[in-house]
Amino acid sequence: MMIHTNYLIIGSGVAGLTLALRLAEKFPKKNITIITKSNTDESNTKYAQGGIAIVIDKNKDSYQKHISDTIICGDGLCDEAIVKMVITEGPKRLKELIEWGAKFDKNPDGNLNLGKEGGHSENRVVHHKDQTGYEIERAILMQVCQKNNITVLDHHFAVDLITEENYCLGITVLDEKTKQLQTYKSDFTILATGGIGHLYGHTTNPVIATGDGIAMAYRAGATIKEMEFIQFHPTAFYEASTGSKFLISEAVRGFGAYLRTRQGHRFMMDYDSRQELASRDIVSQSIDLELKKSGDDCVYLDCTHLNPESFKKHFPMIYEHCLTSGIDIGKDWIPVVPAQHYVCGGIVVDTNGKTSVSNLFACGECSQTGLHGANRLASNSLLEALVYSGRIYEYLATPALEIKTTDYKISEKGKTAKPEIDPEYLAELKPRLQHLMRQNAGIVRSDNDLQNAKDQLLKWKNEMEQMEKTYQISVPFYELLNMITTGSLIVSQSLKRQENRGGFVKLKKLSV
Distances (CA, A) of 392 to 7, 21, 182, 355, 388: 12, 12, 26, 11, 6
124 catalytic? Reply is no
Q: How far apart are CA 232 and CA 167, in angstroms?
A: 35
Other beta carbons within 10 angstroms of residue 153's beta carbon come to 18
What is residue 12's DSSP assignment? -
Q: How far apart are CA 486 and CA 295, in angstroms?
A: 30
Q: How far apart are CA 250 and CA 280, in angstroms?
A: 9
Do 338 and 443 meet the contact criterion of CB atoms below 8 Å apart? yes
Q: How far apart are CA 287 and CA 436, in angstroms?
A: 21
Other beta carbons within 10 angstroms of residue 292's beta carbon come to 11
Do 17 and 140 meet the contact criterion of CB atoms below 8 Å apart? yes
Do 231 and 341 meet the contact criterion of CB atoms below 8 Å apart? yes
Q: How far apart are CA 46 and CA 23, in angstroms?
A: 22
Q: How far apart are CA 264 and CA 348, in angstroms?
A: 44
Q: How far apart are CA 379 and CA 250, in angstroms?
A: 9
φ/ψ of 224, rounded to 5, equals -120, 135
Other beta carbons within 10 angstroms of residue 490's beta carbon come to 28
Instruction: Supply the DSSP string of 285-343, one letter for each residue.
Output: HHHHHHHHHH--S-EEEE-TTS-HHHHHHH-HHHHHHHHHTT--TTTSPEEEEEEEEEE
Longest dimension (CA), the chain: 68
Which member of 93, 124, 280, 438 is catalytic? 280
Do 370 and 79 meet the contact criterion of CB atoms below 8 Å apart? yes
Residues forming the active site: 280
